[in-house]
């Protein structure tokens, strides 16, 4: 039996693709393993969003070449995802252990042929190899030692669209993923129904620009799809990632308010900068004022909403004053959490040609200031939940013995309880609030 290992970098769109590949290979009678040393086939799903993400991937490939491939000459490695789109030649040239590179612009369905060919090839090579090297390869005979996936909440990650037409001036995604393409609503709904029947308790609708979704058959938009998902029978939560402020309408929020049992009162609303000058240079197409107005809608239509955001510091041309403007928006909005990034220059992007005259020290100073400020705000936001009874979804057992659950807003809650609660909705009373999570007791 062929064993495969999936290494996934990047966003949840990549997680969704990897999950689909895993299901496909399992259907071909292969077995997913959770360590590289056990695998006959390794698939690396890559992310190009920032330089660091790329560096991580390249050192991982180097490690595979040096440590894994040498002990298993027949090992096959496939590289897919965003780096694979534009560094195909470099990957083939630098790494002789890579057998196939498949870019993120291509239709993932076309990978099926390659995968099934590789499986057939691997099966015959492995047979020969086994009879010749039976001593060296005892790992495969170690039938009792395989790892089983831990008992965990079943999640359904659904790519409803892919690609991006926005061309934010710093971002490589339109170049790695290509133009926006929405998938059929009929097929999306069918897949979600299947996953719910199979026990999924949380559905995440995904897209680089999820709320610009448009059904290719009927032309209906994101809020209509969201409503159709909410109408599917069963007990489950729905989230979506990542929306763009330019497509955030009141209708989306109103649908969320109409189906509070299903649609999580949670929005990730990426601001990027609190300076209109920088937003314009980033080609974000909204102003700080428009963004703040949308935050007002959210808090009015969904009073219990959790809001998170992305911030880029030290975009070329960002002055200290511009950075202070971002800090003031952070203070005013009081996000429940932020994902802060230092600007990273990326190939193909418009911002690449802009002069970066911020020193490294200054960049680090800014991001640390932002992180520090947000930590305080997150702590205060969490404190507002003290004593409240919240509906949470139990995810898994943690190493510390406690159960991990999440609120609608994706905030972590630790509680004591039985394994049978994993994958179910329970109510907890918040007994303690901390910097990044809550402690609760079952009620
Ligand atoms: N399509 C989504 C997510 C894009 S990637 C959106 O528009 O929100 C996630 C985040 O990475 C972005 O929101 C942005 O904050 C950050 N990011 C993207 N490109 C970057 C770059 N070149 N340097 C630093 N951060 C970047
Ligand atoms: Fe990148 Fe902007 Fe598209 Fe998001 S909306 S993927 S940040 S270009
Ligand atoms: Fe990374 Fe590509 Fe997602 S660059 S963030 S994996 S769209």
pLDDT in tens, 254-298: 999 999 999 999 999 999 999 999 999 999 999 999 999 999 999
Q: Each residue of 297-308: pLDDT tens digit? A: 999 999 999 999
Burial 343-362 (b: 16+ CB within 10 A, else e): bbebeebebeebeeebeeee
What distance in angstroms lies between residue 160's CA and the mean position of ligand 1's atoms? Answer: 19
Q: Rounded CA gap, 323 and 275, in Å?
A: 8
In degrees and rounded to multiples of 5, residue 179 shows phi and psi of: -70, 160
Residue 357: its pLDDT value, please?
A: 85
Q: Does 279 contact ligand 2 (Cβ within 6 A)? A: no
pLDDT of residue 144 exceeding 70, the answer is no
In degrees and rounded to multiples of 5, residue 345 shows phi and psi of: -70, 130
Look at strands 76-81 and 337-342 and give their pairing: unpaired
Query: Interior CA angle at 206 toward 342 and 13, to 5°?
Result: 65
Q: Does 174 contact ligand 2 (Cβ within 6 A)? A: yes
Q: Rounded CA gap, 57 and 249, in Å?
A: 37
Q: Does 346 contact ligand 3 (Cβ within 6 A)? A: no
> Band of the pLDDT at 146, cuts 50, 70, 90?
very low
pLDDT of residue 139 exceeding 60, the answer is no
Could you identify the atom of ligand 3 that is nearest to the CA of residue 13? 3
Residues near ligand 1 with C-beta < 6 Å? 49-50, 170-171, 173, 208-209, 242, 244, 270, 272, 310, 312, 341, 343-344, 346
Residue 256: its pLDDT value, please?
A: 98
pLDDT of residue 96 exceeding 80, the answer is yes
CATH superfamily of 389-442: Nucleic acid-binding proteins (2.40.50.140)
Q: Which ligand is nearest to the CA of 243?
A: 1
Full-model pTM: 0.92
DSSP 9-76: -SSHHHHHHHHHHHHHHHHTT-EE-SSGGG-SEEEEEE--SSHHHHHHHHHHHHHIIIIIGGG-TT-E
* Torsion angle, alpha carbons of 150, 151, 152, 156, to 10: 90
Q: Each residue of 323-343: pLDDT tens digit? A: 999 999 999 999 999 999 999
Residue 142: its pLDDT value, please?
A: 23
Nearest to 436 by CA among 365, 395, 383: 383
Could you identify the atom of ligand 2 that is nearest to the CA of residue 167? 8
What distance in angstroms lies between residue 58's CA and the mean position of ligand 3's atoms? Answer: 16
Q: Each residue of 380-429: pLDDT tens digit? A: 999 999 999 999 999 999 999 999 999 999 999 999 999 999 999 999 99
pLDDT of residue 226 exceeding 80, the answer is yes
What the block records as the tokens of 260 is 């509070």
User: Ligand 3 pocket test: which of 9, 16, 167, 176 has the largest number of ligand atoms within 8 Å of its C-beta?
Assistant: 176
Query: Interior CA angle at 242 toward 312 and 6, to 5°?
Result: 95
Domain boundaries, the chain: 3-145, 155-383, 389-442
Percentage of the chain lying above the pLDDT 70 cut:
95
Give me the architecture of the 155-383 domain, per CATH: Alpha-Beta Horseshoe (3.80)
Bridge partners for 4 per DSSP = 32, 41
Q: Does 39 contact ligand 2 (Cβ within 6 A)? A: no
Q: For residue 400, count other CB atoms closer than 10 A to its CB.
A: 7
Q: Each residue of 168-225: pLDDT tens digit? A: 999 999 999 999 999 999 999 999 999 999 999 999 999 999 999 999 999 999 999 9
Q: Domain 3-145 carries which CATH code? A: 3.40.50.12160
What distance in angstroms lies between residue 174's CA and the mean position of ligand 3's atoms? Answer: 10
CA dist 106 → 68, 101, 162, 170, 187 (Å): 28, 11, 11, 23, 19
Q: Does 47 contact ligand 3 (Cβ within 6 A)? A: yes
pLDDT of residue 150 exceeding 90, the answer is no
Q: For residue 56, count other CB atoms closer than 10 A to its CB.
A: 14
């Amino acid at each position: 039996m062929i064993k495969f290992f999936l290494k996934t970098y990047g966003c949840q769109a990549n997680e969704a693709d990897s999950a689909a590949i895993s299901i496909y290979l399992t259907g071909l009678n292969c077995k997913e393993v959770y360590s590289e040393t056990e695998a006959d086939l390794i698939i690396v799903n890559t992310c190009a969003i920032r330089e660091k993400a790329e560096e991580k991937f390249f050192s991982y490939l180097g490690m595979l070449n040096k440590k894994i491939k040498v002990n298993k000459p027949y090992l096959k490695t496939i590289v897919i995802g965003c780096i694979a789109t534009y560094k195909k030649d470099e990957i083939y040239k630098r790494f002789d252990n890579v057998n196939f590179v498949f870019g993120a612009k291509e239709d993932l369905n076309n990978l099926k042929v390659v995968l099934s060919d590789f499986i057939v090839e691997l099966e015959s090579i492995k047979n020969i190899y086994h009879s010749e090297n039976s001593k060296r390869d005892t790992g495969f005979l170690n039938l009792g030692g395989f790892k089983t996936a831990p008992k965990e909440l079943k999640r359904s990650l659904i790519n409803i669209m892919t690609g991006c037409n926005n061309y934010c001036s710093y971002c490589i995604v339109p170049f790695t993923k290509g133009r926006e393409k929405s998938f059929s609503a009929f097929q999306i709904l069918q897949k979600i129904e299947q996953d719910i029947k199979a026990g999924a308790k949380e559905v995440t609708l995904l897209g680089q620009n999820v709320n610009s979704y448009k059904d290719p058959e009927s032309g209906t938009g994101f809020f209509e799809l969201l409503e159709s998902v909410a109408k599917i029978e069963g007990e489950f939560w729905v989230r979506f990632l990542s929306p763009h402020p330019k497509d955030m309408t009141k209708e989306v929020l109103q649908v969320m308010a109409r189906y509070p049992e299903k649609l999580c009162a949670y929005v990730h609303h990426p601001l990027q900068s609190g300076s209109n000058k920088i937003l314009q240079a980033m080609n974000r197409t909204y102003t700080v004022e428009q963004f703040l107005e949308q935050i007002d809608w959210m808090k009015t239509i969904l009073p219990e909403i959790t809001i998170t955001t992305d911030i880029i510091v030290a975009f070329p041309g960002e002055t200290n004053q511009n950075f202070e403007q971002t800090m003031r928006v952070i203070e005013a909005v009081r996000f429940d959490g932020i994902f802060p990034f230092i600007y990273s220059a990326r190939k193909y992007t418009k911002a690449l040609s802009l002069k970066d005259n911020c020193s490294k020290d200054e960049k680090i100073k800014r991001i640390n200031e932002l992180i520090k400020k947000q930590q305080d705000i997150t702590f205060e936001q969490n404190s507002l939940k003290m004593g409240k009874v919240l509906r949470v979804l139990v995810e898994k057992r943690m190493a510390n013995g406690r159960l991990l659950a999440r609120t609608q807003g994706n905030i972590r809650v630790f509680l004591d309880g039985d394994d049978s609660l994993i994958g179910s909705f329970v109510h907890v009373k918040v007994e303690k609030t901390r910097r990044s999570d809550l402690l609760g007791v079952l009620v």
